[in-house]
Structure 1
Amino acid sequence: MGRQGYLATVIDCFNKEVIGYAMADHFRTELIADAMSMAAANHPLASRCIAHSDRGSNYTSHAYAELLAALDLRQSLGRTGTCFDNSSAESFFATLKKERVYRTVYPTRERAMRDIARYIELFDNRTRLHTANGYRPPQEVRNEYLRSHEAA
């Protein structure tokens, strides 16, 4: 088994919050399915909302398409070789690598997974200021949205 680990994410384009993620020592379809399943379990996904990704073979697999259909999500794929079509994910991974992964040597894969989960849950979603959110953290933006709809 190699020392490399993989991370799949589901990012809400509304507020840039990572609402689902999964980590493993492989990048098979079940990894991205686990991330999407976490998103669906922890957040109400609107019926027929769009699940966008790049054109990696896992995202174009029959198994992943079946999962999206079961969750009543529409699939959208970026254009080949155009990173701008998936800019939220590109930005998240660039920041994660710069702020966490490139600066840290993890003694075990499990330690890396715990640290990255903590980074997502406690820093990126709750603390880090996102320019697309008017320099506010994703959860603050989501909570404000939910409060405004409760009052209505």
Structure 2
Amino acid sequence: MDIITSLFPNGMWHYAMGGLLIGAGVSLLYLTTGLQGGASSFFSSTLSFFSRLPYFQSTGQLSSRGWRLIYALGMVLGAALIWQMAGLDIPTTELPAWQLIIGGFIAGFGARLGNGCTSGHGICGVASFDLSSVLAVVVFLSVAILTAQLMTEVLL
């Protein structure tokens, strides 16, 4: 039990609740519409409002941008609502804006390269027993664990 306390010093309830809410959200989306949720495709479909490049004006981008916009807003507003209901301050970061921007571009590039993001592959794809999603999640997690270990060694 001591390892669990050291890994989760603030408890595990909020992680469990987050997982249950995410699972419920993507399940509700799928059961009511037959659509699979994912966050990275939101950005591509949203760019169809602004960019006239052929990729962003494809039928797939144009036909999905409305529900993807609502889906993304629901993620942001839902998180803010949960934090508000729990009486917590919305967390902030002390990272400089340039680091956040570079991190966003790297994450966005990786999501496009991997044909989806961790939420699309990790939640919807794995639940659908999609082999490419399982492999993508293995790669995502391996790189994340390796990066965390390397950064811990560098910073300590």
Larger radius of gyration: 2
Structure with the bigger percentage of strand:
1
Query: Which structure's residues are more often helix, by fraction?
Result: 2
Q: TM-score range by the shorter chain?
A: 0.3 to 0.5
